[in-house]
C-alpha cells in the first residue's frame, strides 16, 4: 500500500531533497533514461532527475504520433530554457502499427504500454546501457489501475509486473505518493514555468484515449485539430481538464445543401480537485455555441458537436 502525501501537508523542500537523494542513490554511478511527455508529472520528474544526475540523465520525448499539435517543439524549447536537453525519438510508425485494427479500449491501452515500455524504451535503455527509467506515475494512476477501471499506461509493480523481468530495466517513480495538486506544488517549487505546472493533465495514451474505436493517423489528426480549438477556447476557465473526443458513429449532416454522413466530436470539460471525482463545468452556452461553430467549420468531416453533462462516476474523464 502506497502512503499518500496530501498536497496541503506537503513540505516541498523536504520532498525535493528526499527524492533527489533517492534517485542519486538508486542510479549510483550509472545513468538513467527519463521519459518526458511534456505533462506536469513528467516535467517535474525531469527536473528532479536532472538535479540528482545532471548529465547522467538522458531525457527522451517519444514522438508517438498521438500527441497534441506542436508538442515536441514546445517541450524541447521549454526545457532548453531550463538547461535540460531533450532528445526527440520518432516512433510514430511503431505506434500506429501497434494500434492497427485495435478498437477495444483496454487493448488499445495495452498496445500503447507495450510499444512504449517493451519496444521503444526497451531499445533506448539497452542501447544506452542504463538500468533505470524515470517516470511520473502518480497515485491516481495506480488507484484506477488497481481497481480495474482503466489500465493506466504507466503502472506495473502494483499489478504484479516486475519491469526488470518484463522489460529489462528498473523504473523509478518519485511522484508515486502524490496526486495532481501535490505535483503542481512541487513543480512550482522546482521553478517550472507557470504554464507548465498549471497545465491541464494529459493522459499517457495521449489522443488515442480520445478516439473511440481505431486510432488511425487520420482519426488522430481529426481529434488533434478539434483539441486545438477546445484548448484555445477553454484555457481561461478554471476547469481541471477539457478535451475533444472523436466518436465512432457517424451521423447524417448537411453542408452546402448536400448530404454529409459526417463525424461527431464530443467536448468534455471537468471540474475536479484530483481527478478521482469530477463534474462537468457549467460553461456558458455562448461558449459552447462558438465551439460548435469553430469545430464544424474548421475540422474536416465533422458535422456534430456535443457536450458531456454526466459526472465521474459513473463516467470517467477520458473516453477510452
Ligand atoms: P479517467 O479517464 O480515468 O482519468 O477518469 C483520470 C485522470 O487521469 C488521466 N489519465 C491518465 N494519465 N496515464 C496517465 O498518465 C493514463 O493511462 C491515463 N488515463 C487517464 C486523465 O487525463 C485524467 O486527468
Residue of minimum CA distance from atom 22 in ligand 1: 203
The whole-number pLDDT of residue 18 equals 98
Q: Of 68, 114, 141, which is best to mutate to test ligand 1, by the most ligand atoms within 8 angstroms of its C-beta? A: 141
Tell me the pLDDT of the chain (320 aa) as tens digits: 899 999 999 999 999 999 999 999 999 999 999 999 999 999 999 999 999 999 999 999 999 999 999 999 999 999 999 999 999 999 999 999 999 999 999 999 999 999 999 999 999 999 999 999 999 999 999 998 998 888 898 999 999 999 999 999 999 999 999 999 999 999 999 999 999 999 999 999 999 999 999 999 999 999 999 999 999 999 999 999 999 999 999 999 999 999 999 999 999 999 998 898 999 999 999 999 999 999 999 999 999 999 999 999 999 999 99
Separation of CA 129 and ligand 1 centre (Å): 31
CA of 141 to the centre of ligand 1 (A): 7
- What per-residue confidence (pLDDT) applies to 15? 98
Block residue for cell numbers 478498437: 103
Among the atoms of ligand 1, which is closest to the Cα of residue 39?
Answer: 15
pLDDT computed for residue 201 by the predictor: 93
Cβ neighbors of 88 (< 8 A, separation 6 or more) are 60, 61, 63, 72, 76
- Contacts of 189 by beta carbon, 8 Å cutoff, 6+ apart: 12, 13, 16
Mutate to test the pocket of ligand 1, among 317, 319, 320 (most ligand atoms within 8 A of CB): 317
At residue 271, the pLDDT reads: 98
How many angstroms is it from 32 CA to the middle of ligand 1? Answer: 25
Extents of the domains making up the chain: 7-197, 211-307
CA distance between the termini of the chain? 27
Rounded Cα gap, residues 222 and 304, in angstroms: 13
Residue ranges around ligand 1 (CB below 6 Å): 140-141, 144, 150, 152-154, 201, 203-205, 209, 241, 275, 312, 316-318
CATH 3.30.70.260 fits 7-197, yes or no: no
- Confidence (pLDDT) at 153: 86
Q: Cα separation of 189 and 187, whole Å?
A: 5
Best residue among 203, 223, 311 to mutate for probing ligand 1's pocket (most ligand atoms within 8 Å of CB) is 203
**Cβ neighbours, 10 Å, residue 260:** 15
Match domain 211-307 to its CATH number in 3.30.300.10, 3.40.50.970, 3.40.50.300, 3.30.2310.20. Answer: 3.30.300.10
pTM of the model: 0.95
Distance 156 CA to ligand 1 centre (A): 15
The pLDDT assigned to 192 comes to: 97
* Residues linked to residue 33 through DSSP beta bridges, in sequence order: 58, 133
Amino acid at each position: 500500500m502506497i502512503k499518500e502525501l496530501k498536497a496541503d501537508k506537503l513540505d516541498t523542500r523536504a520532498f525535493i531533497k528526499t527524492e533527489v537523494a533517492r534517485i542519486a542513490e538508486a542510479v549510483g554511478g550509472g545513468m538513467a533514461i527519463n521519459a518526458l511527455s511534456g505533462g506536469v508529472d513528467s516535467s517535474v520528474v525531469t527536473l528532479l532527475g536532472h538535479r540528482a544526475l545532471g548529465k547522467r540523465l538522458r531525457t527522451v520525448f517519444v514522438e508517438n504520433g498521438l500527441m497534441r499539435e506542436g508538442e515536441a517543439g514546445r517541450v524541447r524549447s521549454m526545457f532548453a530554457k531550463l538547461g535540460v536537453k531533450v532528445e526527440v525519438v520518432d516512433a510514430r510508425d511503431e505506434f500506429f502499427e501497434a494500434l492497427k485494427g485495435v478498437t477495444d479500449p483496454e487493448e488499445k491501452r495495452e498496445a500503447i504500454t507495450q510499444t512504449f515500455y517493451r519496444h521503444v524504451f526497451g531499445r533506448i535503455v539497452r542501447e544506452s546501457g542504463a538500468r533505470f527509467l524515470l517516470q511520473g506515475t502518480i497515485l491516481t494512476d495506480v488507484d484506477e489501475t488497481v481497481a480495474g477501471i482503466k489500465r493506466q499506461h504507466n503502472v506495473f509493480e502494483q499489478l504484479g509486473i516486475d519491469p526488470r523481468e518484463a522489460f529489462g530495466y528498473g523504473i523509478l517513480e518519485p511522484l508515486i505518493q502524490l496526486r495532481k495538486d501535490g505535483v503542481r506544488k512541487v513543480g512550482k517549487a522546482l521553478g517550472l514555468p507557470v504554464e507548465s505546472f498549471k497545465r491541464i493533465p494529459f493522459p499517457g495514451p495521449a489522443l488515442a484515449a480520445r478516439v473511440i474505436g481505431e486510432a488511425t493517423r487520420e482519426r488522430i489528426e481529426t481529434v488533434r485539430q478539434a483539441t486545438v480549438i477546445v484548448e484555445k477556447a477553454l484555457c481561461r476557465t478554471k476547469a481541471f481538464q477539457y478535451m475533444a473526443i472523436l466518436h465512432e458513429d457517424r451521423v447524417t449532416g448537411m453542408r452546402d445543401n448536400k448530404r454529409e454522413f459526417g463525424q461527431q466530436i464530443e467536448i468534455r470539460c471537468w471540474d475536479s480537485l484530483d481527478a478521482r471525482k469530477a463534474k462537468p463545468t457549467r460553461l456558458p452556452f455562448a461558449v459552447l455555441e462558438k465551439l460548435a461553430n469553430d469545430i464544424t467549420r474548421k475540422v474536416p468531416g465533422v458535422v456534430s458537436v456535443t457536450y458531456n453533462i454526466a459526472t465521474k462516476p459513473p463516467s470517467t474523464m477520458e473516453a477510452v
